[in-house]
């Protein structure tokens, strides 16, 4: 491996880990709703509202950070954005009431927004265009790992003191913020084959975003359908932030305490989420299919979300009967008991198989969606466009999380736990249908808009060389 490739690999690895940590910062809260609510004298619904507002602030910040990154150097912005959320995560552990907790979590959201847009922009310049799906699948997997890590820390250490996971994530974030200083920012557009002659002459791609370019984004129908699809996708799947609460309620319904159920429920969810690692295969398959069919990525993503929806509905109604758990055990005894359950309890085995298949199909969407929106946008626009997509997705997620919390509370007076969570989560899968329709419409425009972006880069490279 050459020194240059080693530097690129190191930078890519640091960005991937930072992306996982900012998702860990977001994923740590939902599994702790019940415990934090009890400690700060708040309600599950109030903490669900914190998550909803958090997602909206992340999205708004992502637009700001992304736009600034498309105008100037991205490395300093990424460093300071990371420090913001690291400091805010630490301050969250000092919260003595709900108001303080809310303020510090909103500060965290401002910093996290920078990673989601700036990091994406940098990664798109680090890898060759022909491997874009594979690279962005690693980005997607890292985010899933981060969310699972946050949930795992919440369900283990957080079950005894909810502040521990926040301390750990802040400390690791600070470490990688310092390691980030050792990376070298890639040249904007260096991964585009149309610009290769330009960089071969030692020149740089100097185009930067302008305010007038916001109208340019909407000129491409592909952007409109991709952004709309991200909204409906989030509306359908945003409610899955409540899945840990569903699992905890499942365990509680078997007669276990809240503390034991929190540990066991989150361990079960971590294992049920293992199908997310198949996103790497989905990204690679998307690259392969796209090279042979101009609609390959969109068809793969559409199939994925359409198949996953009924599988999720099935999952929500699978009970966890016959659990054999030591009520007064420490974490490692409980973890051992959970692992034993995954090979001895037929209900848990069924839940794992259904969940693994559902998550596998769903994982086809994120990397291929990201590759498509990268393909149809110019290098100096990608941070801002991803910021806009984060807003669409955040509005969908926020509505989904808030409506789900309201729906669970409404159903709770009519159905016992965990049935209120099962029926509520299942209803949201209906919203996969409009997300699927968006992909059907996108097929008409994707190839044309990608060719338009390619032609623009080729023309600019030729003009700059002359």
Alpha helices in 345-381 (DSSP H): 346-362, 365-375
465: confidence class by pLDDT, cuts 50, 70, 90: low
CA dist 108 and 20 (Å) reads 15
Report pLDDT for 59.
84
Q: Give the residue from 196, 244, 191, 209 showing the smallest Cα distance to 67.
A: 209
What is the pTM (predicted TM-score) of this model? 0.79
User: Which residues constitute the domain of residue 167?
Assistant: 11-194+226-465
- Distance from first CA to last CA of the chain, Å, rounded? 34
Looking at the 3D structure of the chain, how many domains does it have? Answer: 1
Residue 174 inside a domain? The answer is yes
The enclosing domain of 293 has a CATH number of 1.20.1250.20
State CA 327 to chain mean position distance: 34
CA dist 355 and 271 (Å) reads 9
Task: Answer yes or no: is pLDDT of 231 > 90.
Answer: yes
460: confidence class by pLDDT, cuts 50, 70, 90: confident
Task: Answer yes or no: is pLDDT of 63 > 90.
Answer: no
Residue 213 inside a domain? The answer is no
Residue 209 inside a domain? The answer is no
Residue 4 inside a domain? The answer is no
CA dist 150 and 167 (Å) reads 11
Say what percent of the chain tops pLDDT 90: 17
The more confident residue out of 327 and 253 is 253
CA dist 338 and 152 (Å) reads 13
Residue 354 inside a domain? The answer is yes
Residue 162 inside a domain? The answer is yes
Residue 220 inside a domain? The answer is no
Residue 127 inside a domain? The answer is yes
Mean pLDDT across 243-264: 85
Cα separations in angstroms, 370 against 107, 231, 286, 296, 382:
27, 14, 11, 14, 10
């Amino acid at each position: 491996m050459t020194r240059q490739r080693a530097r690129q690999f190191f930078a890519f690895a640091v960005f991937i880990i930072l992306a996982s940590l900012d998702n860990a910062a977001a994923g740590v809260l939902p599994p702790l709703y019940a415990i934090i609510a009890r400690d700060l004298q708040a309600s599950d619904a109030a903490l669900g509202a914190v998550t909803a507002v958090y997602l909206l602030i992340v999205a708004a910040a992502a637009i700001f950070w992304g736009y600034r990154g498309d105008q100037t150097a991205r490395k300093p912005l990424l460093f300071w954005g990371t420090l913001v959320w690291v400091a805010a995560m630490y301050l969250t552990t000092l919260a003595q009431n709900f108001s303080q907790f809310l303020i510090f979590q909103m500060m965290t959201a401002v910093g996290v927004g920078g990673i989601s847009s700036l990091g994406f922009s940098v990664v798109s310049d680090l890898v060759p265009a022909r491997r874009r799906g594979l690279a962005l699948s690693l980005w997607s997997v890292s985010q899933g790992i981060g969310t699972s890590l946050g949930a795992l820390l919440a369900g283990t250490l957080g079950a005894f003191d909810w502040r521990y996971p926040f301390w750990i994530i802040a400390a690791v974030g600070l470490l990688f913020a310092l390691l980030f200083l050792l990376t070298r920012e890639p040249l904007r557009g260096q991964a585009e084959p149309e610009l290769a002659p330009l960089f071969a002459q030692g020149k740089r791609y100097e185009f930067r975003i302008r305010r007038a370019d916001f109208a340019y984004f909407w000129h491409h129908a592909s952007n409109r359908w991709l952004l709309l699809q991200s909204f409906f996708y989030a509306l359908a799947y945003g409610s899955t932030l409540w899945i840990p609460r569903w699992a905890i309620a499942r365990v509680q319904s078997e007669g276990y305490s809240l503390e034991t159920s929190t540990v066991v429920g989150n361990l079960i969810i971590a294992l049920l989420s293992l199908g997310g690692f198949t996103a790497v295969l989905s990204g690679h398959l998307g690259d392969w299919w796209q090279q042979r069919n101009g609609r390959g990525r969109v068809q793969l993503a559409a199939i994925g979300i359409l198949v996953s929806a009924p599988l999720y509905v099935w999952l929500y109604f699978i009970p966890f009967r016959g659990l054999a758990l030591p009520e007064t055990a420490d974490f490692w005894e409980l973890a051992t008991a959970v692992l034993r359950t995954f090979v001895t309890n037929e209900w848990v085995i069924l839940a794992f198989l259904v969940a693994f298949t559902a998550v596998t199909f769903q994982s086809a969407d994120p990397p291929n969606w990201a590759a498509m929106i990268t393909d149809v946008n110019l290098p100096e626009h990608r941070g801002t466009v991803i910021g806009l997509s984060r807003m669409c997705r955040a509005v969908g997620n926020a509505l989904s999380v808030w409506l789900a919390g309201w729906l669970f509370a409404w159903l709770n007076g009519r159905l016992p736990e965990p049935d209120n969570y099962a029926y509520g989560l299942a209803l949201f899968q209906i919203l996969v249908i409009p997300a699927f329709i968006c992909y059907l419409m996108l097929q008409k425009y994707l190839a044309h808009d990608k060719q338009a972006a390619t032609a623009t880069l080729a023309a600019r490279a030729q003009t700059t060389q002359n």
